[in-house]
């Protein structure tokens, strides 16, 4: 027999576990097709400096700063990788944040950075920056 307190505790545990399931965060895995969460930012690279990536966001229509401390590599949508410091202004970039969301305060921290191509003249179709995932 289940008492009222046990039933309330069970309901609370179920609610918490459902929230965790809904809050699933799947960062892309380099060179693999996997289920990924919606990208958090997309745009054109403005510059990389002092552990920051400055991106002109296609969502916000302004420059945004992303913390890249500890992120050394970017991954190409077509496969392969490159050093983040070698990126050229104008390349098209998609970013997934740590935990798949921006913090309430401060710059978001990059977990995964994808470029369409290391050549800013290589342009993807118009949906690349607008699509939510891979």
Q: Give the whole-angstrom CA distance, residue 14 versus residue 5.
A: 14
Instruction: Give domain 26-115's CATH number out of 3.30.70, 1.10.760, 2.40.50, 3.30.870.
Output: 2.40.50
Per-residue pLDDT of the chain (134 residues; tens, 9 = 90+): 555 454 434 443 433 333 344 468 999 988 777 789 999 999 999 999 989 999 999 999 999 999 999 999 999 988 889 999 999 999 999 999 999 999 999 999 999 999 999 999 998 888 889 887 66
Q: What is the 3-state secondary structure (H, E, C) of 23-78?
A: CCCCCCCCCCCCCCCCCCEEEEEEEEECCEEEEEECCCCEEEEEECCCCCEEEECC
Residue ranges per domain, the chain?
A: 26-115
């Amino acid at each position: 027999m289940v008492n009222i307190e046990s039933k309330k505790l069970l309901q609370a545990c179920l609610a918490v576990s459902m929230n965790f399931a809904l809050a699933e965060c799947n960062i892309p895995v380099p060179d693999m097709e996997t289920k990924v969460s919606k990208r958090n930012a997309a745009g054109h690279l403005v510059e990389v400096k002092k552990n920051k990536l400055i991106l002109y966001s296609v969502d916000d229509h302004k420059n945004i700063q992303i913390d890249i401390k500890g992120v050394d590599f970017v991954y190409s949508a077509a496969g392969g990788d490159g050093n983040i410091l070698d990126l050229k202004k104008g390349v098209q970039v998609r970013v997934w944040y740590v935990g798949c969301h921006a913090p309430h305060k401060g710059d978001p921290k990059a977990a995964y950075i994808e470029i369409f191509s290391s050549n800013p003249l290589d342009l993807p179709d118009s949906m690349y920056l607008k699509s939510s995932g891979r």
